[in-house]
Amino acid sequence: MQLPDPLPTDPEELEHLYQTYRDDIDDFDEAEFKRLMDARLRASGIDPEHMTPEQLFGAMSESMNSLLMNLYAAADEAPDDEASAQVQAIIQLAEELREQVAVAMRNSLTGGE
């Protein structure tokens, strides 16, 4: 999928592009995706080249929450018990990772270990 050049600056337009591009796995280009992600950050008032630790952890947290929402939806749509169990196992791993990220964030921001 070819993204417009220049990319829009409106956050809603960028979100729509992101949703569309994310789902187009047959025509995925890493450089284009990075360009889109950087534009989304800029639209949120974040300079992707100079992110503060708070901004970085905030973006990571948002990404983890989005991942978990998609996994919960996938679990609800699983075609059988085996598939549901597999998705539930992935959900558990993602929740553990989210907690580890939260602990790392707190430790980083407070100077703890």
Whether residues 8 and 45 share a domain: the answer is yes
List, as own/partner pairs, every contact residues 47-53 make where C-beta atoms lie below 8 angstroms and the sequence separation is at least 24, other chains included: 53/105, 53/108, 53/109
Instruction: Find the Cα–Cα–Cα–Cα dihedral 32, 9, 44, 34, rounded to 10°.
Output: 10
Range of the domain at 81: 52-113
Q: What is the pTM of this model?
A: 0.69
What is the mean pLDDT of the segment spanning 11-40? 87
Predicted confidence (pLDDT) at residue 113 exceeds the cutoff of 60: no
Q: Which of 70, 46, 71 is nearest to 59 (CA)?
A: 46
Whether residues 58 and 45 share a domain: the answer is no
Q: Which of 112, 66, 72 is nearest to 92 (CA)?
A: 72
| Per-residue pLDDT reduced to its tens digit, 43-97 | 988 999 999 888 888 888 888 888 899 999 999 999 999 999 999 999 999 999 9
Whether residues 71 and 45 share a domain: the answer is no
CB atoms under 10 Å from CB of 14, counted, come to 20
Query: What pLDDT, on a 0 to 100 scale, did the predictor assign at position 44?
Result: 87
- Tokens in use for 25? 């796995």
